[in-house]
Amino acid sequence: MEASIHETTQKRIAVVTGANKGIGLEICRQLSAKGVKVLLTARDVERGTAAVKKLREEGASDVVFHQLDVADSASVASLANYILAQFGRLDILINNAAVGGVELKPEALTLLDQQQQVAFSTLVDMRLESQEKAEECININYYGTKRMCEALISLLRLSQSPKIIILSSELGRLQYIPGENIRKEIANINDLTEERLDRLVESFLNDFREEKLEENGWPASGSAYVVSKIALTAYTRILAKEYPTICINCVNPGFVKTDINWNTGTRTVEEGAKGPVMLALLPNDSPSGLFYCQTEVSSFE
C-alpha cells in the first residue's frame, strides 16, 4: 500500500491569523491546551517564531509556525498549499489578524510615555486617520479575511467538523453606521451579496478620499475600522448561508488590553480568547451565521 503524503493526525488542525501577540497568541495557547494542533501564523517570521518558542517553553508541544501576511495573496496561497501538502484538510480557521486603521498624534504618544494609565476616551480625539491607513485597514481586516476564507474553504470542506471564526468587534454592529440607507442595505441579508458588500466597502473608501464620510452616512471617527468590522459581520452571514456544512460565526472578544487599543482595554487576553476558542470547539450541527459577544449569542444590530 502507498504511504499517505499527509501527516495522519486525529487531532483537529487550526490556523490562527495574526497570532504573534495579543488575542491571537492567547487563542493559540488555549486551543493547544484543548488538544488542537495549531498553526500559529504571523506576517513577521521573527515575531512568529518567537511566539511559537514561547508557547513551546510553556509546554504547548503541538504548535507550528507558518508565515502569513493576509494582505498578500501569494502568502495566503503558500499557506494553503502547505496545509494541503502537510495535512490534506483543515478543521478550524480563526480570522484574527487586524489593524486599527489609525495613528496617534505625537502628543498622544508623549502622554502614553508619561502616564501608566491613559483612558481610551482620551486618545480618541488624538487619532490621525489618513487615507493610506484607511485603505490598509480595509485591505487587511476585510479583504484579508476574505482571502483566507476563499483560499481555505476547500480544505475546510474536507473536515468532519469545519469551523470558521471571524473576529468582529462591538463596533461591528450595524448601529455604528449613521446612514439609514447603508444600514438597511446591510441588514437585508436575503438580498445582500458579497459583490454588493464589496461595492459598499469601495464606496466607503471613495467617500473617504473625497472627504464625504459624514455627508454619505459613514461613521466620522475610526471609520475604516468600524466599516471593516461591520463588513466582516455581514460577510459572516453571507458565507454561512453559502456554506451550510461549515459552522461560521463572528465574535466580539470584548475590550481587551492589547496593542490595537494602546493597551487601554479593560479585559485580559485570556478573557478575550474565550469566545473565539469556544466557537472553534462547538459540537457538530451547532448554529452558524451568528454574532457572539464573548461567549453569548448577541444581536448584529
Ligand X SMILES: NC(=O)c1ccc[n+]([C@@H]2O[C@H](COP(=O)([O-])OP(=O)(O)OC[C@H]3O[C@@H](n4cnc5c(N)ncnc54)[C@H](OP(=O)(O)O)[C@@H]3O)[C@@H](O)[C@H]2O)c1
Residue 127 engages ligand X in binding (rule: CB under 6 A): no
Write the interaction track for ligand X spanning residues 148-167; mark x where CB under 6 A is met and - where it is not. -------------------x
Backbone angles phi, psi at 251, to 5 degrees: -145, 135
Annotated catalytic residues are 225
47 binds ligand X (CB under 6 A): yes
Exposure b/e, 71-93, CB count within 10 A at least 16 = b:
beeebbeebbeebbeebbbbbbb
Report if residue 273 touches ligand X, rule: CB under 6 A. no
Integer-rounded Cα radius of gyration of the chain: 19
Asked whether position 49 contacts ligand X by CB under 6 A, the answer is no
Q: Would the CA dihedral through 252, 257, 259, 263 be positive or negative?
A: positive
Binding span for ligand X by CB under 6 A among 37-45, 107-115, 179-187, 199-207: 37-45
- Does position 261 interact with ligand X (CB under 6 A)? The reply is yes
97 part of the interface to ligand X, by CB under 6 A: yes
- Residue 196 or residue 257: which is nearer to ligand X going by CB? 257
Determine, following the binding rule CB under 6 A, whether residue 258 of this chain makes contact with ligand X.
Answer: yes
- Part in contact with ligand X (CB under 6 A); list of ranges 13-21, 176-184, 209-217, 285-293: 13-21
By beta-carbon proximity to ligand X, the closer residue of 202 and 259 is 259
What distance, in Å, lies between the first and last C-alpha atoms of the chain? 55
Whose Cβ is closer to ligand X: residue 138's or residue 192's? Answer: 138
Which window, 20-28, 57-65, 86-94, 195-203, contacts ligand X (CB under 6 A)? 20-28
Q: Decide: 11 and 34 in contact? Cβ < 8 Å.
A: no
Interface with ligand X, residue 44, by CB under 6 A: yes
Q: Phi and psi dihedrals of 106, rounded to 5? A: -55, -35
User: 26 or 207, CB closer to ligand X?
Assistant: 26
Q: Which is nearer to ligand X, 9 or 298 (CB)?
A: 298
Among 98, 186, 227, 279, binds ligand X (CB under 6 A): 98
Considering only the stretches 7-15, 56-64, 211-219, 247-255, report the one whose residues sit in contact with ligand X under the rule CB under 6 A: 247-255
The answer to whether residue 70 forms part of the interface with ligand X (CB under 6 A) is: yes
> What does the alpha-carbon distance between residue 229 and residue 170 come to, in Å, rounded to a whole number?
9
- Positions in the binding site for ligand X (CB under 6 A): 17-18, 20-24, 42-44, 47, 68-71, 96-99, 140, 144, 167, 169, 252-253, 255-256, 258-261, 265
